[in-house]
Amino acid sequence: MTWRHRDGTVITSISDVAQPWSPDALTVLPLNMLGTVLLRHCVANENVTVLWDKKVTDVGSDEKGAWAVVEKKDGGVERWTADYICGCDGANSQVRKSLFGNEFPGHTWDAQIIATNVYYPLDKFGYDDINFIIHNEDYYMAAKITTDGLWRVSYGEDTKLSLAEVIAHQPTKYERMLPGNPKPGDYKLLNVGPYRIHQRMAPKFRVGRILLAADAAHLCNPFGGLGLTGGLVDVGGLAECFAGMQMGVADDTILDKYDEMRRLKYQEVINPVSSDNFLRVSATDPKEALVKDEFLMMVEKARTDKATRDELDQGVFAVCHDFTQYYNKQPKEAARL
Ligand SMILES: Cc1cc2nc3c(=O)[nH]c(=O)nc-3n(C[C@H](O)[C@H](O)[C@H](O)COP(=O)(O)OP(=O)(O)OC[C@H]3O[C@@H](n4cnc5c(N)ncnc54)[C@H](O)[C@@H]3O)c2cc1C
């Protein structure tokens, strides 16, 4: 992982981000591949049923149970009941809207990010697997997403540009910011997807028997990969809560802990770190990055100082929270979790 000037020269870097020697090694997968892995596990687990083409249009709960109103593909409507419901239905979550209407406090950045997938041999120009280019106008992230030469290049554009203007401007942007100053015939562009970026958190992650997790509960800009990661650790924590209740070692007040601790993690880790990540690439003077940006100064120090490197690697786990600590006893079953 390398931070660079717009001309490609290196500011600083972390080698072996995937920590191949570590039992907690990171694996970086594009979302579609991760989705395939998750689905395979769900299908193999007899406790999980995956249903397609069902749209939740409302949810509610009382002291006895929770319910969801579900619209089927043929237009039919069903009412499903459950002990608890967790809304993991993404940024435009209907479950969140059923609980809070349009209330989703936070802010939207004054930038649009253009996610492009492109075949262009960035590694021939010395690019590493993940590259952050620091520049006030031409900031971008370039990450290798397959082994056959496909790269994700995400760059910033003015929010005033329409989709047509973004598409028309893309060749100029590429030529100006990518190494080798490529013209359209020099690369194979697969897609261009503009999107707005937000820092937002729902007022609560638990209301009665309804829970929220992942993008339904909180949003952050994608620089640093804390969106998906934050969602995964939400559902991991929630699974620990439900497992504790199921085994009789926790009552449902553990779900209040889920609400409290996952919101705290957003406020103390995900929101500030992802905001810093975005400001680092888009609003930092690259010439001063190694004397003013504390994180990059730490990265630079970690190149030669093992203790700093260990601290940096362990920082990844700051988003996690262990909910088994709230179990009121530790049965044999709990040890299996
Ligand atoms: C361009 C881009 C790049 C990103 N890059 C990264 C990255 O590099 N690293 C990272 O960590 N994160 C990244 N993110 C963020 C990451 O994609 C999200 O945080 C993550 O996908 C959220 O997962 P989720 O399951 O909460 O929501 P989603 O992935 O949005 O899934 C929600 C699911 O709910 C379903 N659904 C929605 N409404 C309903 C309804 N009413 N009824 C039933 N089902 C419903 C949807 O069909 C969908 O399957 C990126 C996001 C974008 C847009």
Do 171 and 130 share a structural domain?
yes
Q: Domain of 176: which CATH number?
A: 3.30.9.10
Task: Please tell me the total count of domains within the chain.
Answer: 2
Most ligand 1 atoms within 8 A of CB, residue of 17, 26, 31, 52 to mutate: 31
Give, in degrees to the nearest 5, the angle at Cα 142 between 8 and 285: 50
Helices 271-282 & 226-246, crossing angle to 10 degrees?
170
CB 82 within 8 A of CB 66: yes
What is the rounded CA–CA span in Å between residue 115 and residue 140? 10
Do 125 and 182 share a structural domain?
yes
On whether residue 29 sits in a domain, the answer given is no
What is the rounded CA–CA span in Å between residue 31 and residue 64? 37
On whether residue 39 sits in a domain, the answer given is no
Strands in 129-217 per DSSP E = 130-133, 140-144, 150-157, 188-201, 206-207, 210-212
Do 230 and 318 share a structural domain?
yes
Most ligand 1 atoms within 8 A of CB, residue of 112, 155, 215, 223 to mutate: 215
Do 246 and 189 share a structural domain?
no
What pLDDT score does 334 carry? Answer: 55
Closest residue (by CA) to atom 38 of ligand 1?
A: 89
What pLDDT score does 313 carry? Answer: 85
Do 283 and 242 share a structural domain?
yes
On whether residue 55 sits in a domain, the answer given is no
Four-CA torsion 259, 257, 69, 47, nearest 10 degrees: 130
Do 328 and 228 share a structural domain?
yes
Do 227 and 145 share a structural domain?
no
Residue numbers of the domain that contains 325: 220-337
- Unique residue bearing structure tokens 């888009």: 282
What pLDDT score does 21 carry? Answer: 67
Closest residue (by CA) to atom 33 of ligand 1?
A: 89
CB 150 within 8 A of CB 196: no
On whether residue 31 sits in a domain, the answer given is no
Do 230 and 161 share a structural domain?
no
- Unique residue bearing structure tokens 């100082």: 305
Residues of the chain with pLDDT under 50: none
On whether residue 308 sits in a domain, the answer given is yes
Do 333 and 248 share a structural domain?
yes
Do 154 and 267 share a structural domain?
no
What pLDDT score does 29 carry? Answer: 77
| Tokens describing residue 149 | 């030469």
Number of the ligand 1 atom closest to the C-alpha atom of 228:
11
On whether residue 115 sits in a domain, the answer given is yes
Closest residue (by CA) to atom 3 of ligand 1?
A: 222
Cα of 130 vs centre of ligand 1, distance in Å, is: 21
Residue 261: enclosing H or E segment and its boundaries?
A: helix 254-265
Phi, psi (rounded to 5 degrees) for 12: -160, 170
What is the rounded CA–CA span in Å between residue 173 and residue 114? 11
What pLDDT score does 314 carry? Answer: 87
pTM over 0.85: yes
User: How do strand 85-87 and strand 210-212 relate by DSSP bridges?
Assistant: parallel
- As to burial, measured by CB atoms within 10 angstroms (0-12 exposed, 13-18 middle, 19+ buried), residue 181 is exposed
User: How do strand 150-157 and strand 210-212 relate by DSSP bridges?
Assistant: unpaired
On whether residue 23 sits in a domain, the answer given is no
CB atoms within 10 A of CB 81: 11
CB 77 within 8 A of CB 71: yes
Cα of 286 vs centre of ligand 1, distance in Å, is: 32
Closest residue (by CA) to atom 50 of ligand 1?
A: 222
Most ligand 1 atoms within 8 A of CB, residue of 89, 98, 104 to mutate: 89
Cα of 94 vs centre of ligand 1, distance in Å, is: 14
CB 291 within 8 A of CB 209: no
Do 268 and 162 share a structural domain?
no
Helices 294-302 & 306-315, crossing angle to 10 degrees?
130
How far is the CA of 108 from the CAs of 111, 159, 232, in angstroms?
8, 11, 23
Number of the ligand 1 atom closest to the C-alpha atom of 214:
26
| Tokens describing residue 288 | 């001063």
Cα of 225 vs centre of ligand 1, distance in Å, is: 12
How far is the CA of 321 from the CAs of 8, 166, 176, 237, in angstroms?
38, 40, 43, 7
**Residue 250: which region, alpha, beta or left (left: phi > 0; alpha: psi -120 to 50)?**
beta
Ligand 1 pocket residues where CB is under 6 Å: 31, 55-56, 88-90, 94, 115, 195, 214-216, 222, 225, 227-229, 231
Closest residue (by CA) to atom 1 of ligand 1?
A: 115
What is the rounded CA–CA span in Å between residue 86 and residue 224? 26
Do 188 and 276 share a structural domain?
no
What pLDDT score does 337 carry? Answer: 53
Closest residue (by CA) to atom 48 of ligand 1?
A: 89
On whether residue 5 sits in a domain, the answer given is no
**Residue 26: which region, alpha, beta or left (left: phi > 0; alpha: psi -120 to 50)?**
beta
What is the rounded CA–CA span in Å between residue 18 and residue 25? 6
